[in-house]
Structure 1
Amino acid sequence: MPAAFPVPGAVVRDQHGEPLRLSELWSEGPALIVLVPAAFSTHCTAELGALAGDVDRFDDAGVQLAALSCDPVPALRAWGEDRRYPFPLLSDFWPHGAVSRAVGAFDEELGVSERLSLLVRDGRVLWDLHGDGRAPRPHSAHCQALEVLAASR
């Protein structure tokens, strides 16, 4: 049985500083939440760029994409404007790493989110992908989440 998302009521801020309750991400359908360590870093930019380039596939499946990191809102705003990501960039900056900690993906030594992707539907985690901190997650692995979603309907 899928596990419950540990902090559905947590409120984070998007790249524009607007508050967002995490449960709002999956209120109208499934959401793929992609945790990344750092804005503007090579691997994080590659991962989110691949998702942005294939956003129509996720849209067609009814999946809301969102990225989350421990970066402050101004850094996420600059990154989003620079790269024109078509999905929200969420700040887990304060309380620092609270959501990342709750999902078991906070690097205490570096103070950043670890690479973790979660497909959430109705507050339940249907699929997860733990990435290596030294390499981007392959885009094909994120696309597997759509296969899991299709099989679970």
Structure 2
Amino acid sequence: MPGISIGDEIPDIHADSTHGPINLHEFCKNNWTLVFSHPADFTPVCTTELGSVAKYQPEIEKRGAKLLGLSCDTVEEHKAWTKDVEAYTTGACVKYPIMADPTREISRKLNMLDPDEKDSSGQPVASRALHIVGPDCRIRVSFMYPASVGRNFDEVIRVLDALQLSSKHKIACPVNWKPGDHVVISPSVSDEEAKKMFPQGYKTVDLPSGKKYMRLVKVD
């Protein structure tokens, strides 16, 4: 997608939020951060999402990560809407900050504006976008959904786990990977290096090509 994406440093934005002023670099620095947008307050799919995120917050924090929401509404509207979110989703308590963006400038800088969706005044609104930002303030993953489709936060958690694991080891996570499954050793790692890096041992899969690139290992 155009604009900032994977590998880019997240813009050093200053914004008002439900928790007061936020400096985006300071907020993200030295942590994993999930920065996510929603099209509008007081709308049905967004209400389900914000409540779900609130219930996931303990799991996200277990992974040393933080949450930061965003929409084109004001702080006052965010605070009023939060009561609806908590009432709709049993057990939800919205403790994470939500940034205000009435001018759409923050959404534009974060590449979160939906090109097709407009509000009642004809202004573009934020898409259902989510950036996973690393401790170095660089974007590691970007998701973008249309307003009509709610996100799958089980998948967001799975991707966060995979990113954190691959940041510790020279590995990659294969299709449908889940914590505890085998991962693959990076092709940049020689067999000699792999033996030192993974003393627990690994399995090399025999393939018709005869190439030994599929090396499976389990790591924590």
Taking structure 2 as the reference length, the TM-score comes to 0.62
Query: Share of identical aligned residues, percent?
Result: 26
Shift of the 52–104 alpha-carbon distance from structure 1 to 2, 3 Å rule, reads: same
Residue in 2 aligned with 1:63?
65
Residue 127 (structure 1) aligned with residue 134 (structure 2): no
**In the TM superposition, what is the alpha-carbon distance from 1:144 to its structure 2 partner?**
2.5
CA offsets, 1:44-64, max 9 Å, x none? 111121111121110000100
* Count of residues paired in the alignment: 149
CA distance in 1, matches of 2:31, 2:39: 26
CA distance in 2, matches of 1:137, 1:124: 22
Which residue identity is paired with 2:44? Answer: T
CA distance in 2, matches of 1:101, 1:148: 28
SS in 2 for 1:34: strand
**In the TM superposition, what is the alpha-carbon distance from 1:24 to its structure 2 partner?**
2.2
SS in 1 for 2:16: strand
Among 107, 111, 115, the residue aligned to 1:104: 111
Kept in 1: contact 2:114–2:126 (CA 8 A): yes
**In the TM superposition, what is the alpha-carbon distance from 1:103 to its structure 2 partner?**
2.4
Among 9, 27, 48, the residue aligned to 1:5: 9
Residue 118 (structure 1) aligned with residue 120 (structure 2): no
Residue in 1 aligned with 2:154?
140
Residue 92 (structure 1) aligned with residue 106 (structure 2): no
Return 5+ residue gaps in structure 2 as ranges.
1-5, 87-92, 119-123, 169-220
- Aligned residues: CA RMSD: 1.9
Q: Which has the higher contact order (CA 8 A, sep 6+)?
A: 1
Which residue identity is paired with 1:114? Answer: S
- Bigger radius of gyration, 1 or 2? 2
Kept in 2: contact 1:35–1:116 (CA 8 A): yes
CA offsets, 1:109-129, max 9 Å, x none? 512111100011111001111
CA offsets, 1:95-153, max 9 Å, x none? x1112112222136512111100011111001111112201111222213322332223
Kept in 2: contact 1:116–1:128 (CA 8 A): yes
**In the TM superposition, what is the alpha-carbon distance from 1:81 to its structure 2 partner?**
4.3
Kept in 2: contact 1:38–1:70 (CA 8 A): yes
Deviant stretches of 4+, over 6 Å: none
Kept in 2: contact 1:12–1:20 (CA 8 A): yes
Return 5+ residue gaps in structure 1 as ranges.
none
